[in-house]
Structure 1
Amino acid sequence: MSPPRVAVIGGGVAACSLAHGLRDSLASRAVSLHVFEMGRASGGRAATRGTRDDPGLRVDHGVPAFAALTPEFGALCESLVAADVLRRCDGDGSAFGVLRSSGTFEAEDAAGAPTRYRPPVGKGMNALCDGLLGGESTLANFTPGTMVTKVEPVAAQWRLTSKGGVDLGTFDWLVVSSTGLAHPRWRTTFGGEPPLVEAAAALGDTALDATLAALAPLQSKPVTAAMLAYGSDAAAAWASLPFFKAQVEADPVLSRIVVQRVSQSLTAVVLHSTHEFARSAAHVYGATSTAARIAGAKSDAGEEGRILDAMLVAAEKRLGGLLGPAAAMRSPAWGPHLHRWGAAFPDAPLLPEGRAVVPSARVAFCGDFVEGGEGRGGSVEGAALSGLRLAKALQREIGGLCGAD
């Protein structure tokens, strides 16, 4: 008898944490897990951007580092440090702080700072999700570059179809780790009804209807990211800045600046917008973004240039006293490229934990948009804990699963 098949939509931190939580069950073939991700690789908002022009370039354009506040997540992160998947941001030059309106940088008080993690030297943040999946020895099936646009209830199973009309198979359980498939935002981004909402109307499951109704009011705070990379003398000039990640004080355009030394001759820079600025450019996704490249979301090239220029102007004003002419801000070796995180930070009301698993419909939800009681919604930690909780819940719901650590 074949094991129960679980399909997961989205390959971010929550989905990969779910796979990690089910690793013993996967090893014993008590369950089969298949993750479908729209991007080129795992990670979601914790993905690493690369380019064919320079295989050595890595840009963590969503999550450059993250904090661990709970014992459970801290223990998981320490296990990943031991496996060379992560490193601690302590004493490694990972300075955090605030870029004041005066143009000066004020480092945070290290004594009161949370424990943070980032990728090891030579790796990008996608190492986190790759590590959670198990690396080369992963037992989960992972299919990148695939946008699921149709889910159908068929004889107590779920049939999935891709944007290109490809039948992706039938599954016993459907896990949604990214809200788009089930949220009204799908209508404005891609057009038409959200696939799971459309399927639920045909299914007539009152518990699923209640969960979708609870999810619908969820709001998200968007962020627009401008990505650049600098070589030679400019790389050294940017790397000489006194911070790795700086919050930008009282700026209408920029919320934070991240500087990542990729190698001795290459430095990546990511400018993150404020939520308000991103909302003013809601129709621009970035020509090279996954939403535009895979899903067909429209992006106006003229508007994209205007947005990038506004972000660069803001960076020039704030960094003018810290960067010399050698930084060549307007002459990057790569970029600038724009990427819109339309659902960067989920906002209240989050999906109640009690609504996250719907056994009658064999549908479940995990992600930083699920309220888990730790107060970590909207964070990498919240996403990971949600995936781990769901692993335990699925073990209870699907008979014969072995226990996870």
Structure 2
Amino acid sequence: MSPPRVAVIGGGVAACSLAHGLRDSLASRAVSLHVFEMGRASGGRAATRGTRDDPGLRVDHGVPAFAALTPEFGALCESLVAADVLRRCDGDGSAFGVLRSSGTFEAEDAAGAPTRYRPPVGKGMNALCDGLLGGESTLANFTPSTMVTKVEPVAAQWRLTSKGGVDLGTFDWLVVSSTGLAHPRWRTTFGGEPPLVEAAAALGDTALDATLAALVPLQSKPAAMLAYGSDAAAAWASLPFFKAQVEADPVLSRIVVQRVSQSLTAVVLHSTHEFARSAAHVYGATSTAARIAGAKSDAGEEGRILDAMLVAAEKRLGGLLGPAAAMRSPAWGPHLHRWGAAFPDAPLLPEGRAVVPSARVAFCGDFVEGGEGRGGSVEGAALSGLRLAKALQREIGGLCGAD
């Protein structure tokens, strides 16, 4: 008898944490896990952006570093440090704090700061998801560059079909780790009804309908990515912070500065949710949604959004950056990137609605509030995946480690 088959849509931190939580069950072949990712590799928000224009450029545009506040996630991170997948930020030159309205930077109190983690030197944050999956010895079936555009309930199973019309197989459980498949934004981004919403209409499961309704208010936000070379790289790298929250700004929420090499510094400007709502119709031309899925992009609108973000950064950084920084003359960029599901705005999906046994559908991601107060973060995504692993062990008979 073949093991129960679980399909996961999206290959970010939550999905990879789910695979990590099920590793014993996967090893014993008590379950089969199939992850379908629209991008080129695992990572989601924790992916590392590169470019053919400069093979040395590496930008952790969604997760440059993250904090661990709960014992469970802290223990997981320490195990990844031991495996050389992560390193602690302690004493490595990473400065965190707030960029005040006055243009001054106020570093956080080191004594009360949480433990934070970054990739090892020379690696990108995509190492996190690779490590959670188990590297080359992963037990999950991982399929990149695959957009699932149709899900159908068929005889107590779920049949998946790709954008190209390829039958991806039938599965006993469907796990959604990226909300696009179930969110109204699908209509404006790709056209037509969201696949899971369409399937739910035919299924008539009231519990699933309630979960889908709870996802509707979620919003995401864009970021502007740039890289500077030569003297400008040194000028940017001399800023007194690695990651700064931007105080009371209607456009920017944070600024991240990553020294990639002596001659290359990457800068990422993150918008506020308020600003994102005014630009909900725009996706970056180089984003996965545009490249793989064909999301429409308006160059004029992209330019307007990028200009607004650069103007806001100039106002805040004018007293900290000298003329050598050449903000308007980057070596790469500016490029607009909009995450479809990451950085969700409240209200998040309650944990009690994340598993729908009657429909054999489950949800995991930073958009799920698990009670630890870490929703919307990398930690929240990871804990969501680990919780779902335990829930599936309870729900699917025969899984190893069932409670």
1:254–1:206: structure 2 CA closer, same or farther, 3 Å change rule?
closer
3-state DSSP of counterpart to 1:343: coil
* Distance verdict in 2 for CA 1:374–1:287, change over 3 Å: same
Provide the identity percentage: 100
> Normalised by the size of structure 1, how large is the TM-score?
0.95
Q: Is the 8 A contact 2:101 2:316 kept in 1?
A: yes
8 Å contact from structure 2 (residues 219, 273) kept in 1: no
Count of aligned positions = 403
SS in 1 for 2:187: helix
Q: What does the per-residue CA deviation read over 1:167-208, in whole Å, with 9 as the maximum and x for residues that have no partner?
A: 111111110111121222322322221111111222233332
CA distance in 1, matches of 2:376, 2:281: 23
Separation in 1, partners of 2:360, 2:151: 13
> Following TM superposition, by how much is the alpha carbon of 1:358 offset from its aligned partner in structure 2, in angstroms?
1.9
CA contact (8 A) 1:219 1:349 kept: no
Change (3 A) 1:221 1:56: closer
* Offset of residue 124 of structure 1: 1.1
Q: Kindly tell me: are residues 282 and 209 of structure 1, through their superposed partners in 2, closer, same or farther at Cα, counting changes over 3 Å?
A: closer
Deviation at 1:32, TM superposition (A): 0.9
Question: Does the Cα contact within 8 Å between 1:151 and 1:160 map onto a contact in 2?
Answer: yes
Q: What displacement does 1:110 show?
A: 0.8
Q: Which residue of 2 aligns with 1:309?
A: 307
Residue 218 (structure 1) shift: 4.2
* Residue aligned with 2:328, SS: coil
Moved more, 316-325 or 57-66: 316-325
Q: Give CA deviations for 1:124-151 in whole Å, capped at 9, x if unaligned.
A: 1111111111111111111111111100
Contact between 2:221 and 2:272, CA under 8 Å: does it hold in 1? no
What is the CA-CA distance between 1:235 and the residue it aligns to? 1.4
| 1:216-259 CA distance string (max 9 Å, x none) | 4445566xx11111122221221111110111223222221100
SS in 1 for 2:248: coil
Q: Aligned partners of 2:351, 2:139: CA distance in 1, in Å?
A: 27
Asked whether the equivalents of residues 99 and 246 of structure 1 are also in contact (C-alpha less than 8 Å), the reply is: yes
* Deviation string, structure 1 residues 112-134 (Cα, Å, up to 9, x no partner): 11111111111111111111111
2: CA distance, partners of 1:333 / 1:30: 50
Contact 2:30–2:400 (Cα < 8 Å) also in 1: yes
Large movers: runs of 4+ above 3 Å: 213-222
Give the TM-score of the pair, scaled to structure 2: 0.95
Is 2:37 the partner of 1:37? yes
The residue aligned with 1:138 is 138
Tell me how large the CA RMSD over aligned residues is: 1.8
What is the DSSP-based 3-state SS (H/G/I as helix, E as strand, rest coil) of the residue aligned with 1:347? coil
Gap change, CA 1:370 and 1:251, over 3 Å in 2: closer
- C-alpha change, 1:323 and 1:404, in structure 2 (3 Å) is farther
Return the alpha-carbon distance in structure 2 between the equivalents of residues 101 and 355 of structure 1.
Answer: 40
Q: CA deviation at 1:402?
A: 1.4
Secondary structure of the residue that 2:106 maps to in structure 1? strand
Higher mean Cα deviation, 386-395 or 345-354?
A: 345-354
Q: Is the 8 A contact 2:80 2:86 kept in 1?
A: yes
CA contact (8 A) 1:14 1:383 kept: yes
Shift in Å at residue 21 of structure 1?
Answer: 0.2
Give the Cα separation in 2 of the matches to 1:402 and 1:31.
8
**1:283 and 1:129 mapped to 2: Cα distance?**
29
Query: Residues 24 and 202 from structure 1, CA distance in 2 versus in 1: closer, same or farther, beyond 3 angstroms?
Result: same
Structure 2 CA distance for partners of 1:81 and 1:269, relative to 1, 3 Å:
same
- Please name the residue that 1:82 is paired with: 82
Cα offsets for 1:251-272 (capped at 9, x unmatched): 2222211000111221111111
- State how far apart, in whole Å, the 1-side matches of 2:81 and 2:402 are: 20
